[in-house]
Structure 1
Amino acid sequence: MAGNQSIMFNGGLPADCTCPICEQALREPMLLNCEHHYCKQCFEKEDRAPECALCQTIIQPELCKQDRAKHKQILSLPVVCTFESSGCQWSGQLGTLHDHLTECTFKSSLKCEKCGRQFAKADLDRHREKCELNRAMCSYCNKTIRDSDLERHLKTCPEVIISCPFQCGLSDRPRHEIEAHRPQCPNVDNVCPFVPYGCTFAGGKESIQQHLSDEPVRHLMYLCDEITDLKGTYELMERDMVSFNDRQSRILSAADTCTEMFGPQLIWKIDKLQQRTNEAKSGADTTIFSNPFMSHRFGYKMMACACLFGDGTSAGKSISLYVLLLKGEFDPTLEWPFNRTIKISLLDQNPRPEDRVNITYVIDPRKLKANEKFLARPRGERNAAFGSQSFCSLAILQNYVKDDTIYVRIDVDRCETLPVSLKTRDEKERKQMMDSIRLKTPNVRAIHQVRPVTGQSQAPSGDLRV
């Protein structure tokens, strides 16, 4: 592939071409006995888990083989040049990216010191002359103005020295003084109305009328010059708008990147809900698991799980939602025990976003009792699960089902939970608070939105699960 260069896939990297271990494009893909794929390097790691990271099937190395068809599929994926941000417009298949990079003229691009944009070395000097951030200082008002706007600024600068256009004798004054003088100028009615556009004729009313009749071409030229100036101003504004749109696109792109980086770590789609609930009710499959996810880049490896018919004392009454820590590649570099606040949310699928009311349960790791088996660095493949045994009643859950599907979102704080003095409410206080909430808010869905943040966010021992 492209060696150590970053690869940018046009349209994103398909899930079936992504290694679940390194989360990168499959390199020398190995087909497992469960039909999933690993990179060859990830497959051959000594500390690799014995079961598949996606389906938990035990991996049988003797049944695994290199998948040449998958390798060809990956090499045919559409990509853009690694130096697209520097201005390169190349796009093609992944298999041809390496050949392009060897001759890409943007590979040795340089950065403009003023705007920070990347340019090929041959184009940088030309850009520096026209860089939109080039600045000059007005010698009259001492304001810093863009080079391209300086000429336009001088036509309106209030400190530029000019004379009265009505030729009354007032001269060599700043423009703001002349503008204040013009309405009271004694010659205001004795000059050609085209004086603001360059005409210098002055005289009585009759002579002005004669002057206008004798010089129509000259006055038309004055108007043409003004229109030309306006056209130049419009072109500058249009160019500024293009530049603005370009900057806006870059900002929006950066915002999208931030959303991807700092949005929820997992949105879990649980489909075939009725079938899965019946399987849980019968005892055939009481717990379902999400795909593994990371708390942040190079962070904690985690997984969510759900008991759709309830767990323990909540069986048949409530849905139970949990999270758990998995053994991860970067565990040696992380802080233990795990101390990030986690929010588990059941998402409202109301088509009107302003009417959506999610149910959210907050897990504060500082409040977990006997947290060693939940929050310590995993010694085996995974720790015990922790979360809410009674997340919401099965009756209320139906309000969040659409097309036999629910969505669960997991948010993990990227900063550690700071140690603070905590006050735990007793059962009586919690009951009083919930009663007051019910009186103020009869909507049961709204009550459940705030319920976990009060008492249940404490995650008592009854909500812990092995």
Structure 2
Amino acid sequence: SFTFLFVISIMDTNSWSLSPYASTHPPSFHGVPQGNPQYVSLTDNFRCPVCRGVLREAVQTRCGHRACAQCVRDLLAGNPGGVVPCPVSDDTCVVLKEEEIHRDVSMRREIHKLEVYCNFRNEGCREILPWNALEFHLKSCEFRATPCLFMSSGCPVVTPHRDKEGHADQCEYRPVTCTHCSQQQTFRSLKSHEETECPRVVVQCPNSCGSESCPRQKMEIHIEKECPKRPQVCKYQTMGCVYTGEEADLLRHTEVSRDNHAYLTAQHSHQVALDTAGCRKDIQEINSSLQTLTERMTDQSRQMESLISALDGFKHTLKTIKIKAVSQTERLITLERRVDNMADKELVEKQGRSVILLTERQETLEQRVTHLERAGPSGGEGGACQPRGESDRRLALLDARFADIDLRMQVIETVNYGGVLMWKIRDYNQRKQDAKAGKTNSLYSQPFYTGPYGYKMCARVYLNGDGMGKGTHLSLFFVVQKGEYDALLPWPFKQKVTLMLLDQQNGSRHVVDSFRPDTTSSSYQRPVTEMNIASGCPLFISHVVLETPTYLRDDTIFIKVVVDSEGLKQH
């Protein structure tokens, strides 16, 4: 049966090629076109005996009858395992079996060719064409419904496609230009625009004051300020009079309505008196509240005085601390000057030997003190000893000297004479909190040098930022300090300076900023005080970037400063 149907399909191919629509829209043998058009003639041969509609996806039974594929499927599904007779009752009918039902390609082809009317027949289209060409025709039919070109402007009209241009020429929503102000309007609103809105349309004064006609925008100014017949309100309007009229009528109204105005004035005065009484009551309540607030203010003042007294005490304590800090700073500067003279290797070794001797002496003294303590206040083996207080005093002096020498050794160990500073800042978060609280705004590094007799320098850092970077960035600055050999060095300071925040993760993402000094700046002249004004980068690195594992680890950051020593060999 498959071979037979295939031969029929080939033989019938030439038949649909003769159709004027076949070259662009050949029929499909797998189904029927969409929709339910109006047929020119639909005989029973093309009707399904089940649904009585046109055969859709026609199939043929063993007895030769045709039906819709879906209708047959529904019949078979409604009687599973049962007997389903052929929907056509005649002597040739048999029981339907699914394997004996086949597609009827020939009938499907004939149905494709059924002549139908255009869907827009009622609108005037008289086209009759094969069903399989209807969809293509509908897309180009001159009678298809088309909305107006000016639908976006509000036109609701839908016309046949062939009448679209004609309607557009007469559409009330077509755009036109006002001849007076050149504004774009729709044809429908043009008249209203000219009568009520257009600022350049010449109009007469609506008060008929006899003035010359002028453009609307000037007439509005005339009506508001110049027109002698413009409406004016009665001067007793605030009292309740609602009269409005021309200036002459207003004068007559004032004369005629004196009694009424007096009555309105009396009413207004009475209302003012009532309002005044209410205001007085409100004032009394306010005064009462004010008295309570005054008492609270007095208590607050007393508390404030006690706080001021306490603050004065704090200020005195702070002053004492500052004096001590200045004293410590002076001592530190003295130590730095001494350390400057201890850079020689021989001096370092000599200091080391002194430390060893002092350590030995301290151990000897500790042994003697221990012996004296055991001997008691009456003395030891010699029967005579120094008082214990004298021994304690000498031990304290030795401890102080030992601490001083230890501090000097630490400075000597960390000082650098190659123009490189490596600065390790511990307890970052605590120091930053101190900076936020105003306790310690900035930190100074240990000094470093371009050589044993070179420039003396240090770094200064604001962990909570300075200037533009305050609160958001770490600010890093370079400082030139007063050194022992400044008289032998060239001034101003001209060496290239590189500031770095070191990457503690993989060493490939250091934050680097380099600059050459501005020789006109006082920061790079020969210092006349202990140190010059710092200069550098207020926005060196943001806290968001800094406070990541790349740069901050174990609550510690590393800052490196490199000063180029090029050109300093001769010094």
- TM-score bracket, normalised by the shorter chain, equals 0.3 to 0.5
Indicate the structure (1 or 2) with the bigger Cα radius of gyration.
2
Larger fraction in helix: 2
TM-score, normalised to structure 1, is: 0.34
Q: TM-score, normalised by structure 2?
A: 0.28
